[in-house]
């Protein structure tokens, strides 16, 4: 009975980036007992009288770029998984496409837990007339645009290091043209940095170091006669030495912590190997 159920809907559906005339969407595979899954996407302009629904069927893989949409327009997307046992319930996404003069396909890539890289493509129009770009960012989503921080960028890439851990940030970009005019803002990206996590080996090393300091504090409170008596027993001395009491062990633990190489992540939040459809 279970094997004949339709698949679950795809998970983690999100609009990765947009341009004036295309939308890139990605999702995680749906759960199903049928390994031969495909996906359907139905989309339409919202808040229009005709609201004609367009459909892409039989998509293989987990990314798609939908072409030939209207610029600066609000679209609704419905994504379903399909197997031989039926079609899943839809997942809904709603997204505006970019204006023609705005930076296109703005994308956030996580280089480290608290380091974000922004990249984008040039405006659809006046591409050769761009002088530079301005990137706006804030950690307060309720702030007005005049309160956002901003930085000029000469290329189409900027890295934000040393952000707050486990925190939300918003980013947007505008193009500055040679005549001084500015484009409309790109769509805003809402990004959360990762939590600060200690590796297991780090935690063990810090725990051992704390224990060493605690034992050294206890030993320092003993008078010389008691300490000499305690250390006169080989078993007692062996127990203390096995716990790493002593400066040499302390230095060894700290060196192992300081020499620990940090792991880094250089892949995008989601892969960008898109299949494109012109409809």
pLDDT tens per residue, range 264-275: 433 333 333 444
For residue 275, is it within any domain?
Answer: no
270 within domain boundaries: no
Mean pLDDT within 121-146: 94
Q: Given this model, what pLDDT does residue 200 score?
A: 59
Mean pLDDT, rounded, of the chain: 80
| Residue 175 lies inside a defined structural domain of this protein | yes
Q: Tell me, yes or no, whether 268 lies in a domain.
A: no
Q: Are residues 108 and 151 in the same domain?
A: yes
Least confident of 5-19, 36-50, 129-143: 36-50
More confident residue, 157 or 229: 157
Residues 37 and 65 in one domain: yes
pLDDT tens digits, one per residue of 221-250: 655 555 555 444 444 434 433 443 334 444
Q: Give yes or no: residues 117 and 172 share one domain.
A: yes
Same domain, yes or no: 54 and 120 = no
Which of 97, 117, 147 lies at the terminal end of a domain, its last residue?
97
Question: Which of 47, 81, 97 is the C-terminal boundary of a domain?
Answer: 97
Residue 127 lies in a domain: yes
Specify whether 87 is located in the same domain as 123.
no
**Domain total for the chain?**
3
Q: Taking residues 75-87, what's their average pLDDT? A: 94
Look at residue 141 in the predicted model and tell me its pLDDT.
82
Look up the CATH number of the domain holding residue 64.
Answer: 2.60.40.10
Whether 29 is covered by a domain: the verdict is yes
SS (H, E, C) the chain: CHHHCCCCCCEEEEEEEECCCEEEEEEECCCCCCCCCEEEEEEEECCCCCCCCEEEEEECCCEEEEECCCCCCEEEEEEEEEECCEECCCEEEEEECCCCCCCEEEEEEEEECCEEEEEEECCCCCHHHEEEEEEEEECCCCCCHHHCEEEEECCCEEEECCCCCCCEEEEEEEEEECCCCECCCCCCEEEECCCCCCCHHHHHHHHHHHHHHHHHHHHHHCCHHHHHHHHCCHHHHHHHHHCCCCHHHHHHHHHHHHCCCCCCCCCCCCCCCCCEECC
Higher local confidence (pLDDT), 158 or 142: 158
pTM over 0.85: no
The pLDDT > 90 percentage for the chain reads 59
**pLDDT tens, residue by residue, 107-132:** 999 999 999 999 999 999 999 999 99
pLDDT for residue 254 is more than 90: no
pLDDT of residue 191: 92
Residue 277 in domain? no
43 with 114, same domain: the answer is: no
> What domain range includes position 182?
104-192
In a domain, 267, yes or no: no
The answer on 220 and 177 residing in a single domain is no
């Amino acid at each position: 009975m279970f094997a004949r159920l339709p698949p679950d809907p795809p998970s983690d559906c999100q609009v990765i980036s947009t341009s004036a005339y295309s939308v890139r969407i990605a999702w995680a595979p749906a759960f199903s007992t049928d390994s031969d899954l495909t996906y359907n996407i139905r989309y339409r302009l919202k808040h229009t009288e005709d609201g004609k629904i367009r459909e892409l069927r039989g998509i293989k893989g987990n990314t798609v770029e939908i072409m030939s949409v209207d610029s600066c327009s609000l679209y609704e997307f419905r994504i379903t998984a399909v197997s031989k046992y039926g079609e899943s319930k839809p997942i809904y996404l709603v997204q505006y496409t970019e204006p023609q003069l705005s930076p296109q396909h703005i994308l956030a890539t996580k280089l480290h837990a608290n380091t974000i890289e922004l990249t984008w493509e040039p405006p659809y129009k006046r591409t050769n007339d761009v002088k530079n770009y301005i990137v706006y960012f804030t950690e307060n989503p309720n702030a007005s645009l005049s309160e956002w921080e901003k930085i000029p960028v000469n290329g189409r890439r900027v890295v934000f290091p040393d952000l707050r851990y486990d925190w939300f940030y918003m980013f947007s970009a505008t193009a500055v043209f040679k005549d001084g005019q500015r484009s409309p803002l790109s769509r805003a990206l809402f990004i959360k940095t990762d939590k600060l996590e200690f590796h297991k080996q780090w935690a063990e090393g810090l725990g051992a170091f704390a224990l060493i300091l605690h034992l050294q504090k206890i030993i320092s409170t003993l008078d010389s006669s008691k300490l000499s008596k305690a250390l006169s027993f080989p078993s007692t001395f062996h127990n203390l030495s096995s716990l790493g009491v002593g400066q040499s062990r302390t230095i060894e633990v700290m060196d192992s912590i300081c020499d620990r190489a940090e792991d880094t992540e250089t892949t995008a939040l989601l892969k960008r190997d898109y299949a494109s459809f012109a409809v």
